[in-house]
Chains A and B, each alone.
Chain A
Amino acid sequence: MTWRRLFRPAAVALAAQPILSIVCGFAVAGLAVLASGADPVQAFSALFQGAFTNPRAFTETMIATLPYIFLGLAVALGFKAGLFNIGAEGQFYLGAVFGVFIGYSVQGLPGIVHVPLALLAGMLGGFLWAAIPGIIKARTGAHEVIITIMLNYVAFQLTDFLINNRGPLADKTSSAPRTPFIQHAAQLPILIPGTRLHAGLFVALVAIPVVWFLLSRTTVGFQIRTVGLNPSAARAAGISVGWTLVITMGISGALAGLAGADEVLGVSHFMPPSFSTGYGFDSIAVALLAKSNPWAILPAAFLFGAMRNGATFMQLQTQVSADLISIVQATVIIFIAAPAIIRWIFRLRHTPAAPVQLAKTDGGATI
């Protein structure tokens, strides 16, 4: 992708809507701050400071961006096949469990082998966990939204069981419920001394082109997109829709699992209970904001990472609750999902782009 292509009128028009949605999201959140009696300018400048203004803040923003990249790609890939993978959070957990297990239990490997092995284990965990709803949907037609939501709870409880004080993965020497620390060799190396920024950054930056390549250059990707656009035509052309759904869920889960392993190997180095705080759910918003475009996942994830990281500082500085970013996120999604509002506010010309379609069932109904 060259710069000239990036700034074609069509590309600009495509990006205009998400950007304007973000502007509107902040505007609405600003009104909420105003209504609560605080100063929105102060709040947002604190948010910005907390996210960017010193090297440590910036690297922490990068760290928060990484899971959003993997998970955003995971959800976006599902969207491409018409699947709404709400289970990214659960797959994130399973990836972390598999990754931490390989990370602490295997000994004596050099880092160059151990890290990839643990990351692959995380992908396997996510793959298996996501393949379950894929298979159930393909076999019985049950809706993946319901199954993946339910499997999230199973995943939370399962990890709780595994790492509580007497669980099979628990560190018996610790009084807190958690897994043992991973081997030193399994740790993702720190990139900048004095910060927590780790080599998972490269993994994430490679994942984006890989997913793009998969979707646009391979037969599997073509199959995924065809099933997502028109399952009836796919079936009539001899494409196995069921198999495609299973494989899509599997790959989507593998990406989510990679996020979990990356987090364990790069940041925490062990796995505590209630490991994630909603990364998987936020990532649905990341994928929507990026309109499921793998390249656009990068800026969308970065925005969400910055908001997440800046929110704490904002709360400390201005007493405005960190939950403010939830308002921003939620309104951004509303504006993304209702392009007509954005066009009306900004008097954009109507380009007959397809509306954001969260999920398309075989019957053609949209959610």
Chain B
Amino acid sequence: MDLAIEWDQVHALLGENGAGKTTLMNVAYGLVRPDSGTILVDGNPVVIHGPQDAIRLGIGMVHQHFMLIPPLTVAENVILGHETVRAGGFVDQRAAEREVRDLSQRYGLEVDPRARIEGLPVGIQQRVEILKSLYRGARILILDEPTAVLTPQEVIGLFGILRNLAGEGSAIVFITHKLGEVMEVADTITVMRRGKVEATTRPSETNPAGLARLMVGRPVLLRVDKAPARPQRPVLELDHLVVHDDRRRVAVDGVALSVHAGEIVGIAGVEGNGQNELAEAIAGLRPDRGGRVLLDGQDVTRATTRHVLHGGLGFIPADRHRMGLVLEHSVSDNLVLSTFDRAPFARWIIRRFEAVLEYAQRLIKQFDIRAESPSQPAGSLSGGNQQKVVAARELGRQPRALLASQPTRGLDVGSIEFIHRQIVDQRDAGLAVLLISSELDEILSLADRVAVMYRGRIVAILEGDAIDRERIGLLMAGAA
């Protein structure tokens, strides 16, 4: 494939997960060796053997997961590996702080060089990552999905910085799968699909629907069609729930919320504001909790996960590789992961494979799971199909409530559409859905009511016309 990045521009690389965006940029940063082809910088062919070469050529990369050392200060992190050393082997802290301050003023990246990383919000940590690249002389800056962890307001701030940097003569490569952001910030857009460039265009020459079609290869519904909710009796009730995190700090602080049959309640919030702990507490995975959880009127606050699941909760965990699936097990074994020891899948302690297989084949068909066979390891499926396995398992048990945590993270558009459709259909059939997502678009398109979570608390519950992107954004950032 060919790709040309120009100076003074923000160049967006748009594509679904697995389209090859990140691989391509890892080649440019020297983390992956190309099989063939050449890389040119300013017209000169270059060979990049590793990040050191890339840095020397002025290529900087901001990874999806930050490479910062939390107990060190901003200045220390920025200069790490490129310290100015005074006589006697001491690091010149003052000079470092001064340099970092100069840099941050020059590019409008407001940061206190003396602040410790661990105390900073994610948006500021990202600025530190950008500063780090600039400090090392980067003129070509690659950002891999930089908005995934930011609030809408932080995203606006980031876009300002990117425009600034491009204005100063840098080249920015912005890797994303979000259409709206591309339209907003990019000068040039390259759409990738299955490792190939589908098109290179400009925001003025296209629109989101056109981009989506290029990305997926077919027309895509950007909105989920759904009728207004008809909520009935409450099924899942949280009564001043308090949950502690692994370090025994309060992560969920007195959450009160009820989810009715036939409605989708969305929990919006920046990741790390207690959503994971909340989900795990409801599913019985965090014993260290106060308050009450009622499932279908029954108190399940102290119940085991097994009890909660068999009591009628479907649970789609946030991390499907770690918690949703056993990748080495077959698709069919994963489909009965929580029911393998019940009839008809077992008689006494003997597993009944015919029953498992029959059930698996039914779910594979119903949920359109693209697997060669039910005995294929789940790990060999694509991400979208893996998540369909989790959804099929949980919805296939016909639960009364569904707790879905980041149900479409990292999935292709087709799978997202499918899973959203399933959730809405099940809602219409009377399922109570609690949807936790840090993708605001997902919340906005699915939820009938939106609860905004900030630092462990529900700071607002919005309904109907009050559901407004900007308002939610402010609430997510704690300003309201």
Contact = CB atoms under 8 A, between A and B. Distances in A.
Contact of A229 (B304, B307, B317, B328): B328
B304 A240 contact: yes
Interface stretch (A104-112, A193-201, A215-223): A215-223
Contacts of B305: 235-238
B396 to A, nearest CB: 13
A233 B326 contact: yes
Residue among B306, B326, B340 having the largest count of chain A Cβ atoms under 10 Å = B326
Contacts of A235: 285, 305, 323
B326 A229 contact: yes
B329 interface: yes
B309 interface: yes
A236 B349 contact: no
| Interface bracket on B | 20 to 34
Nearest to A230: B326
A230 B317 CA distance: 14
Interface in B324-348: 324-329, 333, 337-338, 340-341, 346
A236 B285 contact: yes
A223 B338 CA distance: 10
A217 B349 CA distance: 9
Interface SS of chain A: helix, strand, loop or mixed? helix
Contacts of B322: 230, 232-233
A226 interface: yes
Nearest to B313: A238
Nearest to A236: B323
A217 B348 CA distance: 12
B327 A230 contact: yes
A230 B377 CA distance: 14
Given A229-B326, A230-B327, A237 B349 contact: no
Interface in B345-370: 346, 349-351
B351 A217 contact: yes
Contact of A219 (B283, B306, B326, B351): B351
B421 to A, nearest CB: 24
Given A222-B340, A223-B341, A234 B350 contact: no
Contacts of B309: 237-238
B65 interface: no
B310 interface: yes
Contacts of A225: 329
A239 interface: yes
A237 B323 CA distance: 8
Given A218-B350, A223-B341, A232 B306 contact: no
Nearest to B283: A236
B350 A226 contact: no
Interface in A349-367: 354
A234 B285 CA distance: 11
Interface residues of A, number: 20
B454 interface: no
A354 B328 CA distance: 10
B29 interface: no
B315 interface: yes
A20 to B, nearest CB: 24
Interface string A139-177: 000000000000000000000000000000000000000
Given A233-B325, A236-B285, A222 B351 contact: yes
Given A236-B285, A236-B305, A217 B326 contact: no
A265 to B, nearest CB: 29
Contacts, number: 68
A106 B367 CA distance: 62
A229 B325 CA distance: 10
A236 B333 CA distance: 15
A344 to B, nearest CB: 20
Nearest to A226: B326
Nearest to B316: A236
A219 B355 CA distance: 14
Given A226-B326, A238-B306, A239-B306, A233 B337 contact: yes
B326 A236 contact: no
A217 B351 CA distance: 6
A88 B242 CA distance: 43
Contacts of A233: 322-326, 337
Interface in A236-255: 236-240
Nearest to A220: B349
B184 to A, nearest CB: 37
Interface in A17-70: none
Nearest to B320: A233
A220 B346 CA distance: 11
Residue among A223, A230, A237 having the largest count of chain B Cβ atoms under 10 Å = A237
A143 B465 CA distance: 55
A219 B317 CA distance: 23
Contact of A237 (B327, B337, B346, B351): B337
A28 to B, nearest CB: 32
B39 to A, nearest CB: 27
Nearest to B315: A236
A277 B162 CA distance: 70
B323 A219 contact: no
A226 B329 contact: yes
A195 B167 CA distance: 91
A234 B326 contact: yes
B93 to A, nearest CB: 35
Residue among B285, B323, B333 having the largest count of chain A Cβ atoms under 10 Å = B323
A218 B348 CA distance: 9
B241 to A, nearest CB: 19
Contacts of B349: 218-220
Interface in B276-312: 283, 285, 304-310
Contact of B323 (A217, A232, A240): A232
Residue among A229, A230, A233 having the largest count of chain B Cβ atoms under 10 Å = A233
Contacts of B324: 233, 236
A238 B329 contact: no
Residue among B307, B308, B350 having the largest count of chain A Cβ atoms under 10 Å = B350
Contact of B317 (A234, A236, A240, A354): A236
Contacts of A217: 350-351
Contacts of B327: 229-230
Contacts of A218: 349-351
B306 A222 contact: no
A88 B285 CA distance: 32
Contacts of A226: 326, 329, 337
Interface of A: 217-220, 222-223, 225-226, 229-230, 232-240, 354
16 contacts: A219-B341, A222-B340, A223-B341, A229-B329, A230-B322, A230-B327, A233-B324, A233-B325, A234-B337, A235-B285, A236-B285, A236-B324, A237-B305, A237-B338, A238-B307, A238-B338
Given A229-B329, A354-B328, 7 more contacts: A219-B350, A226-B326, A230-B322, A230-B325, A233-B324, A236-B305, A240-B304
For the complex of A and B, list the 4 residue pairs with the smallest distance between their C-beta atoms, beginning with the closest: A238-B306, A219-B341, A237-B338, A237-B337
